[in-house]
Structure 1
Amino acid sequence: MLRAMIGSTQAKADIIPVDICVNMMIAIAWQTGIKHPNTTIPVYNCCTGHLGSLTWGKIIECGLGHLDTICMENAISCPHLQFTENKFRYFYLRFLQEVLPAFILDCYMRLIGRKPIFSKICDKIYKNVRTLDFFTTHSWIFPNDNSILLQNEMSEVDRQTFNFDVRDLDWSHYWHIYCLGAKQYLLREDLAHMPQCRKRNQRLKRLQNFLWFTSIALIVKIVFFKSFKFHRILIIFLRLIFSVLSTITKKIGFSSKK
């Protein structure tokens, strides 16, 4: 039910897989105990630093791309998420794509005699997501020079066994495994049902497109064919735009002749 978030697609998302953290901890313990047992322990930042190029926009691109093939069994809509830095646009998108559908689904639940739950779920998602606003709209670069020096002191075999170089990460493959793990272990869904889930996702896409086109067609019909006043206002507005464009064109042409 999450369709919109406040954030910048260009902001850095300093996300580190837990395997990287564990490998770095092992390497730090080795260096501290073997290489420098009597010196001051340096500070290591397990982060992408200036080496990483992972942004929130790339996460959305990779995540939604894999969710088209790794579909969920009980999905009620096609996965979609967009970031916006404009709060007015965010609340507009949230009302249109989250609050209104949740209200309609709750009305349907009441009609069939079941407890409405979607509006409450929508509110919980909203409260949790808003706590991330500060992090999805800002970027930080933490120095990881000590981590790079640690990699250089390790042997080639150790670097391959306990690799924590974020430059070697294939983020597309990582999010593919992430989506598979969430489906299998978090949602406890059987991966053998994937073909049926994909067919369901295709039906949801067609239904969603049909509803959007139908809504737009109804709005156009009501506004343009039923409201005579609005039709006249629209014509006057278009004429005004045409006259302004004509004036600007004439001025540009006059100045170019000079």
Structure 2
Amino acid sequence: MVIDGPSSSSIMAAIQATSNSTSSTTSSSNHHRQHRIGTSSVSEFYEGKTVFITGGTGFMGKVLLEKLLRSCPGVSKIYLLIRPMKGQDAHERLQQLLSSPLFDPLRKERPQDLRKVLPIEGDITQPELAITASDRAMLERSVNVVFHSAATVKFDEKLKLSVTINLLGTRRLVELCKRMDHLEALIHVSTAYCNCDRTEVTEVVYSPPMDPERVTTLVDCLDEPLVDQLTPSLVGNRPNTYTFTKALTECWLREHCEGLPLVIVRPSIVLSSAGGPMKGWVDNWNGPTGIIAAAGKGLFRSMVCDPNKTADLVPVDMVINLMIVSAWRVGTTKPKELQIYNCVTGQRKPITWQQFIDLCFKYMRKHPFSDVFWYPNGSVSSNRTLNTFNWIFLHWIPAHIIDSFVWLTGGRPIMVKIQNKLTKAASCLEYFTTQQWQFNDENVRNLVSTLNEVDKEVFCFDVAKIDWNKYIEDYVLGIRRFIFKEERTSLPKARRQMSKLYWSYRIMQVVSVLLTWHFLTTRYAPLRRLWTSALHFLMHIASMLPFV
């Protein structure tokens, strides 16, 4: 799940396929031959293939696009569904996307491959995806593989829009896919948390919370204010419209996609990339990233979280590798059953929220951000009363003091506004940081076993290989470089500032303890006598020590 979102770049250097075959199936003997000579079966599957991607301008979409271009060099064309925005048409948005640092290695080594990427102007919220008749006809006769990652991942999205994008958008895409003459794989990106009303989640589609058709009709017929009033009762025991509509979508797909080569991939909480071409690549503030970035700046110090619960975090490039491989698998084996993959880490490579937070603070002090407001530190607790106390004294009061000073000096106060946004973001995460799920990932493990050694390396999605220490260090460096746009040359200055903040923080701690003790001892005689006795005892011990 990409938490906004819900949810990261590709893993290995590009490989050169040795076969020119464009067949959609791979014989057993050919598979063994490839294994012996060290080629990639997955890469060869994409030889001459045409790919269509929705959500290509998003976080996961960019990583998918880069990985296909870099590690499947034989791919013929990649079409991206791109919605025109005010002042930018689809072609301009594509050029902006390809100018991302993520594509720098490709731009340097194989710039011609970027010409394989072509925009399709459209809109997931509109009938027929707002694609022109000529473009639809072209897609229907040429596309072999479809990756559907377009979705709204905002937790507080209004139900009407969430249904329109996540459910109706998927339905419109499926209608297009059913008209594709050479479709070999349709990969739908869901979320591991679409069944968060269960503590144990296996790789099956569960009964819907409500009939998808009924919900669609309801939001279609009613005015938005009335839908907003009904949302809590419709969503039920799920935490938000995102998980609710994702569950509805899975159920609709199960009922209406018979005959389509469909795969559902369910990532958990998606963070930065673990591998190449840029370790730690992340380009948004979604989910934990915004909170961690604020904590690194010294702006956020407390949130509701059960520190002992498992934080099911997964690198974006491992999710993308699983998607690419699952398309190969369904395209070459043509299974009759719907394939579902839970892309998670909680079973094979668990890490608790406390471990995750401690490692983040460790590396934010080792590789500090520039212009830090205060020494990065903080705590998490499932005790809401304690968190409210911390929020008042560590967030709310300091923010008002800073804004008052800024206002008096003629500046524009923004700290209270920032704190309000951070508090809202933290509250969206509470449901996921105070509970724990057991996600079964047997299908993912079995898929790993079908790969040859080259593909296991190039398209790695074996989460057991994650080194959390190294990964989180790269994650922090990625936030520094790609979110805050800070170069490594700024690190020495940032470290000097961090050293000053550290000693200021320690001095303030000592002063606070002394003032508190002084306040208590002046009012309570027993404490004062205890303090005096302790001082006399220490002086006595000191007098007995031999002089050197």
> How many pairs does the alignment contain?
232
Query: Contact 1:32 / 1:41 at 8 angstroms: preserved in 2?
Result: no
Structure 2 equivalent of residue 67 of structure 1: 364
Match of 1:206 among 503, 507, 512: 503
Confirm or deny that 1:98 pairs with 2:400. Answer: no
Query: Contact 2:366 / 2:495 at 8 angstroms: preserved in 1?
Result: yes
Structure 1 equivalent of residue 100 of structure 2: none
Query: Contact 2:349 / 2:463 at 8 angstroms: preserved in 1?
Result: yes
The one-letter code sitting in structure 1 at the alignment partner of 2:324 is I
SS of the aligned residue for 2:380 comes to strand
Task: Please give the per-residue CA displacement for 1:170-189, whole angstroms capped at 9, x wherever unaligned.
Answer: 11111111111111111111
Task: Please give the per-residue CA displacement for 1:147-167, whole angstroms capped at 9, x wherever unaligned.
Answer: 111111111221111110000
Q: For the residues of structure 1 that align with 2:412 and 2:490, how far apart are their CA atoms?
A: 28
1:168-187 correspondence to structure 2 within 5 Å:
168-187=465-484
The one-letter code sitting in structure 2 at the alignment partner of 1:37 is K
Query: Contact 1:8 / 1:56 at 8 angstroms: preserved in 2?
Result: yes
SS of the aligned residue for 1:75 comes to coil
Confirm or deny that 1:18 pairs with 2:311. Answer: no
1:98-137 correspondence to structure 2 within 5 Å:
98-137=395-434
Q: For the residues of structure 1 that align with 2:513 and 2:409, how far apart are their CA atoms?
A: 28
Q: For the residues of structure 1 that align with 2:503 and 2:527, how far apart are their CA atoms?
A: 32
Q: For the residues of structure 2 that align with 1:38 and 1:219, how far apart are their CA atoms?
A: 69
Higher deviation after alignment, 137-146 or 100-109: 100-109
Deviation, 1:49, is 4.5
Query: Contact 2:520 / 2:527 at 8 angstroms: preserved in 1?
Result: no
Match of 2:513 among 216, 219, 223: 216
SS of the aligned residue for 2:343 comes to coil
Taking structure 1 as the reference length, what is the TM-score of the superposition? 0.84
Q: For the residues of structure 2 that align with 1:199 and 1:68, how far apart are their CA atoms?
A: 11
Q: For the residues of structure 2 that align with 1:162 and 1:114, how far apart are their CA atoms?
A: 51
Deviation, 1:32, is 0.7
Q: For the residues of structure 2 that align with 1:220 and 1:109, how far apart are their CA atoms?
A: 33
Match of 2:462 among 165, 174, 179: 165
Query: Contact 2:310 / 2:346 at 8 angstroms: preserved in 1?
Result: no
The one-letter code sitting in structure 2 at the alignment partner of 1:127 is K
Q: 1:142 to 1:100 in 2, by over 3 A?
A: same
Higher helix share: 1
Q: For the residues of structure 2 that align with 1:96 and 1:195, how far apart are their CA atoms?
A: 32
Match of 2:345 among 48, 51, 65: 48
Taking structure 2 as the reference length, what is the TM-score of the superposition? 0.41
SS of the aligned residue for 2:438 comes to coil
Deviation, 1:135, is 0.6
Match of 2:326 among 21, 28, 32: 28
Match of 1:138 among 392, 413, 435: 435
Confirm or deny that 1:87 pairs with 2:384. Answer: yes
Deviation, 1:56, is 0.7
Q: For the residues of structure 1 that align with 2:429 and 2:330, how far apart are their CA atoms?
A: 35
Q: 1:49 to 1:119 in 2, by over 3 A?
A: closer
Deviation, 1:111, is 3.3
RMSD: 1.9
Deviation, 1:108, is 2.2
For structure 1, which runs of at least 5 residues remain unmatched after alignment?
A: 239-258
Q: For the residues of structure 1 that align with 2:516 and 2:429, how far apart are their CA atoms?
A: 35
Higher strand share: 2
